Structure formats: C-alpha cells, structure tokens
Amino acid sequence: MTQPATLPLVESLLDAPLPASGIAWLDAARQESRDAFASTGLPDTRVEAWKYTALRGLAQRRFAHGDATASGRAVDPSLLALPGVEGARLVFVNGVFRADLSTLDALPDGLTLQPLSRVLKDDAEPLRFGWSRSATRAEAHGAADAFARINAASAADGMVLRVAARATIAAPVQLVFIGADGEGELAWHARNLIELGEGASLTLIEQHLGDGGQAQLATFVSDIHVGAGAKLHHVTLQNAASAANLIRHSHLRLQARSEATLHVVELGGALVRHDLQVELLGDGAKLHTRGVFMPHGRQHIDTQLAIRHQALNTASSSNWRGVANDRARGVFRGAIVVAPGADGSDASLSNKNLLLSAGAEIDTKPELEIYADEVQAAHGATVGQLDERSLFYLRSRGIPLAEARALLTAAFCRAMLDDLPNPDLREHLSGLLIAQLPA
Amino acid sequence: MLKIENLHARVEGKEILKGLSLTVNAGEVHAIMGPNGAGKSTLGNVLSGRDGYEVTAGTVSYNGIDLLALEPEARAAAGVFLAFQYPVEIPGVNNTYFLRAALNAQRKQRGEKELDSMAFLKLVREKLKVMQISDELLHRAVNEGFSGGEKKRNEIFQMAVLEPQLAILDETDSGLDIDALKQVAQGVNTLRSPGRAFLMITHYQRLLDYVVPDFVHVLADGRIVESGDKSLALRLEEQGYAGVRHGAVA
Ligand SMILES: Nc1ncnc2c1ncn2[C@@H]1O[C@H](COP(=O)(O)OP(=O)(O)O)[C@@H](O)[C@H]1O
Ligand SMILES: [Mg+2]
C-alpha cells in the first residue's frame, strides 16, 4: 500500500497551517483530525464506499491552502440572483465569508444566521459538542471519511444557522459558495451548522457556483439538526465551475415527527462527491428526497445516500435520477437501513438513469437492510435508454428524432422537481437542467 | 392517395404481412377488420414508420411518393396520422405543449409558418368544442393517468388539431362505452372531407353503425382476403371470421 503522505494531494493538504483559534478544545480537535488524516490518507477503490470513484487523478495534484485575497475578489452579482428567492443570504468566496455580498440585516424573528468565523471569534463554546460529534463520526468510517477529517482540521468558515423553537421563517435563506480563480490552484473548506428548534420551519437554498477556469478542491461538512415537529426544506443547486472538485458531507438528524424535504441538483464540477446521511431518530420522522445528477463531458458525479430508520413509524421516500452524456460517469448508492426497533417504518427508494452516449456510464447500487418488524420497503434502480415507444409516439406526430429525445430527457429529469413548491425556483432549476442537455 | 402493393413485413424475424395490397382514394373511409394477431396493428405501424418492422417486399405509394423511404416525422408532416391502439403515457410532457410542438414541427417541415401560442390556443379551443373533451386534459401530461376512453379521445383530438390527410385509427373503438364511442365517431365524421381518407382498423362492426365506411376489408394472416361494402361487416358480425374466404380477393 502507498504511504499516504507521499501523495501530492495529501502532502499539500497537510502542508497547510491549521487555523489558529486560540480556543484550546478547538485547536486540539483540529490537530487530532489532521493527525487522523495524516495516518489514514485517502481511500482507494478497495474501500467499498469509494469503489466507483477513483481518486488517482486528484491525488496527484497539489493545491495551495486558502485564498488570502478572497475578501476583495470581484464577483459578478448576477451569479447570486435566484428567481423567487429573496431573503437572508450568506455568501462565501473560496470559503471566505463576504459581508459585502451577503444580506444579514433585518433577519426575521427567530432566525440566527452568522458566518462560522464570527461565531468562533465571539462565542465558540456552543459549537463544541457538535464539532466533536462529527469528528467521532468521521473516525468511525476510517479512510472513507478522509475529506471530512481534513475539513474538520482546516475549515475556518461556513454558516451557523439557528431557528428558534416554533419560529416559522417564511422567506428562504440562501447559502452560496462561489469558487473563483486565485493565485494558483486552491483548496478550501467550509463547515455548516444548521439547527431547527422544536416546531420550527425553514427553507434553505444552498448553491455551489463558480466561474473560474482553475482547478480547485473544496470540501464541505454540513451538520443539520431538525428538532421535534420541525420542518426543513433544503434545496441544493450544485453548479460549480467545470474544473472544481467538490467533496461534500451532509449529515441530517431528524427528531420525532419532524419532516425534511430535500431537492438536490448536481450539474457542475469535475469530480463531485456527496455523502448524504440521514438519521431518522425520533418516532414518526419523515424524509423526502429528490435528486438529479447530470454529468457530461468528463465529469464524475457520485452521490452516496445513506438513510437510517432508527425510530418507530418513520418514513422515507427517495427518488433520484441520473443522466450521463459524453464520457461522463455517474455513481449513485442508495443505502437504507431499518434498524431494530424501527417497527412500522416505510422506506422507498428509486434511482432511474439514462445514458445518452455509448461512452457514458452510471453505476447504481441499491442496498436495503431491514432489522425491524412490519416494515414496508420498496427499492429499485435501472440504467437504460429512452423508451422506444414514447420516442415513436412523438415522432409519429411529426416531432423530429433529436427534438423528441431532448423532450423526453428533459421530462425525465424535470420530474424530480415537480413537487418543489416555489414555482419561480422550479422554473429556474428546470431551465438549468435543460441547458445541460445536448442541443 | 395510398397504394399498397404486395406488402411483406417482418417483426423480429417473423413474417406478419404476407402480400397485402390495398388502394385508398381521397375522401374514402375504409374499415379493416380481422381476427386478433392478423397483422392489423402491424400494418398501421409499417405505414407510420415504426422501428423494428422490416419491409421485405412490396411498395407503398402515398400521393405518388415512396412512403416507406420517409422517417416517421416526415410521414407525419406529409399528412399520415396513426391513432394508436395503446397510446403511451409520457410523464412530464404537457399535453398542450406536446401538441403545439408537434403541429409546429410538421408546419416547419412543410415550410409553413409556425403558430404562436395565441393562434395555437385559438385552434385548440375550436377543436375542443368539436371533440367534446374537457380542457382539463390539456393541462395534464400526455395520456398520464388518463382512463382508456380519455386516451382514445385524446388521439382523436390530436388528429383534429393536426388535420392529417390519411388517418389510420387502430381499434380506437375498443374498450369504449357507448357514449365515448359516439364521441369518437362524431369526431371522425366531423373530419370526413373530400381531401381526407380514413383507414379504420376495428374488431367490431359496432363503430361502423356510427361511421359508415365506403369499403370493408378483411385482413387475415397478413393479407386482405375479402373486400366489400358495409354488408360485409354485418355478415362478419353474424358468422365470425371462420367463414372468411381464404386467399380470395374481391
Ligand atoms: N413488436 C412486436 N414484437 C413481436 N411480435 C409482434 C410485434 N408486433 C406484432 N407482433 C406479432 O405479429 C402478429 C400480428 O400482430 P398485430 O399486428 O398486433 O395483430 P392485430 O393488430 O391484427 O391483432 C402477432 O402474432 C404478434 O404477436
Ligand atoms: Mg392490433
């Protein structure tokens, strides 16, 4: 086996000085995470969770740590506009908080929204428990969570969002990460902490954007806690620049009777990996996920969805679709565990995929483990081409083949946005999906 | 308008049409009847250009051109329309959007000006009145969640909007209750005109009480084995297909 530290990527990430916080527990935690990363290094494809995503190419690259001049970098403000979305907004450029691009004034009652850098400076103590919990989680996964570790060691900014118990935040909160060209190829890291108190409700729109041509590596860890009876709608639009490598961990914990609805659209990036882990911890918690990934060119987009039903009468419904073109590769793993005691739970997962060219590939791996009683579970995955009968139907009405294909492919992806309640946002996202399709 | 001569066609290596000949002139309504598996749907599919149907011999001339040489979309633009025996559901594609895309694609291929949404809507309103279908169906995805009868009526509605020259109706009457059948028949009758021809594939003579055909043909074992007028349909109804004169051509 390769010595981890000899890989250029690992070396360059370890070269980066740890952010100095002056907080003893935090400095110690960061040092610990850094040491753990140094000792386990990167996962190779023998690690089950990385079977279809080889890091060989990425591992040979070196990235400079952070962007010292990010706070002054010019950003096209039109990048930030999102139809149908107007409310609080937090913007980061190359991982650095940008007050000038953010909207934090006049926050509604019950919403606390701050950059992590500021919270760490003002009062870090409340973060302590969550920080160590996510470090412990990364520990349990060994090399598989290498990037979560380097994130825990190096991230100095991100979003801290809290919604007070029973507060309903009507306007969606926008969280934007922009990758921009800097002095050399950059690595940057961001960490988000999101907490909905009991009975609270929030819509969060997370965007990953970029307009640069330089390669980057960005890692994200988001810890999301949905309190009892709370409702979260989380929309993610990943439309990063084509040379950006994005590795994201999202971890959701759902308490009793809470409801989380997730819409994820993966369009951009070079190598993109998203580990999306959801624990249904309280009785009657509900999860609804919809996702579309559309790799083209030589993109590689890997989603690892892991859902754990841990309480009585919990429900999850997941529907994801992939469309791969050119020589691109998509990976989807949907793993559901219904743990002992999660009796009466209901879990369904479907992943359908379309290959638009002979050189494209999608690997899908459904996994279902049930250890509880009276569980309803449905599980299915397919990879294929467009339905011949539908194509003929359209052509028989006069629609040329290429147009018929485009129409059916667009409909295939757009279906994942059907239940998105904000019509302007739905149209906007739908337009982006269609723009990604071959003309 | 349509001249089919000695048509042989294979599906998955199996010969289904075995020397079918048929001539249809503008303004005529031809009924094609025959037992299950005779090749009726195959004929409709071959005429509209579906993949997987291999023509091994024979010719099909449509308004003087070789129909078999055209792609399905070009046949549609040239005025050929197939009402499917089993219309497919297309989730995510809005019915109105689809129909406008289809009409404009045809117009474009014919070198005509495309209709803007105002003009299209006006056309749709007119046709809706004639077809008596609820405009609620228009806002749904193509055939998605439609009842059997709604699907068939949607086919006729599409036909009304696209105004084909040669309409092939493949068992559009099957599975309809009497009211739906009358609506479909009325739709067809409204569209009957000197410039338009119909090929009505049907299993029952019931439809022919409402749409009176000029000719009735019996298709059995891949060939037209008997032709006549409406009385042939009545005879078939009484005697069944067993009494069909094999190989005979009227
Ligand atoms: N796509 C197909 N694949 C395989 N066999 C087919 C296909 N279409 C038709 N056939 C076969 O061709 C024969 C004629 O079918 P069809 O034209 O549908 O008959 P009809 O419409 O007269 O009932 C049947 O034996 C049927 O099984
Ligand atoms: Mg048939």
Neighbours of A430 (CB within 10 A): 18
Chain centroid to CA B9 = 18
Q: What is the distance in angstroms between the Cα of B225 and the nearest Cα belonging to chain A?
A: 28
Give ∠ CA B192-B195-B199 in degrees, rounded to 5: 60
Q: Has residue A223 got a pLDDT over 70?
A: yes
Could you tell me how many CB contacts below 8 A there are between chain A and chain B?
Answer: 78
Q: Which of B47, B70, B81, B93 to mutate to test the interface with A (most CBs of A within 10 A)?
A: B93
Catalogue all structural domains in chain B, each as residue range(s) with its CATH number. 2-246 (3.40.50.300)
Contact B84 A393 (CB under 8 A): yes
Give residue-wise pLDDT tens across range A70-110.
988 988 888 888 988 888 999 999 999 999 999 999 899 99
B72 and chain A in contact, CB less than 8 A: yes
Q: Which of A120-124, A125-129, A261-265, A372-376 has the highest mean pLDDT?
A: A261-265
Q: Are A321 and A415 in contact (CB under 8 A)?
A: yes
This prediction has a pTM of 0.86
Contact A390 B90 (CB under 8 A): yes
Tell me the average pLDDT of chain B.
92
Counting atoms of ligand 1 from 1, which one is nearest the CA of B53?
1
**Structure token digits, residue B1:** 């308008």
B37 and chain A in contact, CB less than 8 A: no
Please report which confidence band the pLDDT of residue A138 belongs to, taking 50, 70 and 90 as the band edges: low
Q: Which of A388, A399, A411 is facing B92, going by the closest CB pair?
A: A411
Give residue-wise pLDDT tens across range A344-371.
999 999 999 999 999 999 999 899 999 9
B147 phi/psi in degrees, rounded to 5: -75, 165
**Structure token digits, residue A228:** 């009892």
Q: Has residue B249 got a pLDDT over 70?
A: no
A386 and chain B in contact, CB less than 8 A: no
The domain limits of chain A are 4-282, 387-439
Centre of ligand 1 from the C-alpha of residue B241, in Å: 18
- Least confident window among A346-350, B86-90, B168-172, B236-240: B236-240
* Mean pLDDT value of segment A374-395: 94
A397 and chain B in contact, CB less than 8 A: yes
Contacts of A420 in chain B (CB under 8 A): none
Looking at residue B247, its pLDDT comes to: 43
Any idea which ligand is nearest the CA of B85?
2
Contacts of A402 in chain B (CB under 8 A): none
Contacts of B75 in chain A (CB under 8 A): 396
Q: Are A307 and A278 in contact (CB under 8 A)?
A: yes
Contacts of B142 in chain A (CB under 8 A): 393
Contact B98 A398 (CB under 8 A): no
Neighbours of A109 (CB within 10 A): 8
A55 vs B136, higher pLDDT? A55
Enumerate residues 6+ apart whose C-beta is below 8 A from B71. A395, A400, A401, B49
**Could you give the percent of chain B with pLDDT greater than 90?**
76
Give the ranges where A123-214 is alpha helix by DSSP (H). 128-140, 146-154
Give residue-wise pLDDT tens across range B79-104.
999 999 999 999 989 999 999 999 99
- Could you tell me the strand order of the sheet in which B197-202 lies? B80-83, B166-170, B197-202, B29-33, B215-220, B223-228
